[in-house]
Amino acid sequence: MTASEIIVEVAYALPGEQLIVPIKVNEGITAEQAIKASGILSKFPEIDLAVNKIGIFGKLTKSDTPLRHLDRVEIYRPLIADPKEVRKQRAADGKIMKKGGGDAAPEA
């Protein structure tokens, strides 16, 4: 690795599969350029960078953000259900969540 090269990771996950691709790139590369260089777009053709949001270590970022050594670029999938709406519906149904999910038995 030369002084002008850095190592970054590009990550994408599906419910049953996760892929993290480490790549060696030139300093100054953007998040979008790293995603394209990783080859992850050919493995997951459903990724659309105009639609999917991206982040660095869980923090949303723009595609033109320059990366630093050891950054992990994450590609996010759209949510299946809005968590706020799910909680609201659960409250309206009178369900109580126990630790780990599911319905809790009523306390006697």
- Whole-number Å distance between alpha carbons of 32 and 16: 25
- Pairing mode, strands 72-75 and 54-56: antiparallel
pLDDT for 29 equals 96
pLDDT for 75 equals 97
Domain extent for 19? 5-75
Domain assignment of residue 66, yes or no: yes
- At residue 85 the predicted structure's pLDDT band, cuts being 50, 70 and 90, is confident
pLDDT for 107 equals 59
Q: Is 59 exposed, middle or buried (0-12, 13-18, 19+ CB in 10 A)?
A: exposed
Q: What percentage of residues in the chain have a pLDDT greater than 70?
A: 85
The number of domains in the chain is 1
- Whole-number Å distance between alpha carbons of 72 and 23: 10
Domain assignment of residue 57, yes or no: yes
Report the CATH number that the domain containing residue 42 is assigned in CATH.
Answer: 3.10.20.280
- At residue 94 the predicted structure's pLDDT band, cuts being 50, 70 and 90, is confident
Give the residue with greater pLDDT, 100 vs 10: 10
Domain assignment of residue 61, yes or no: yes
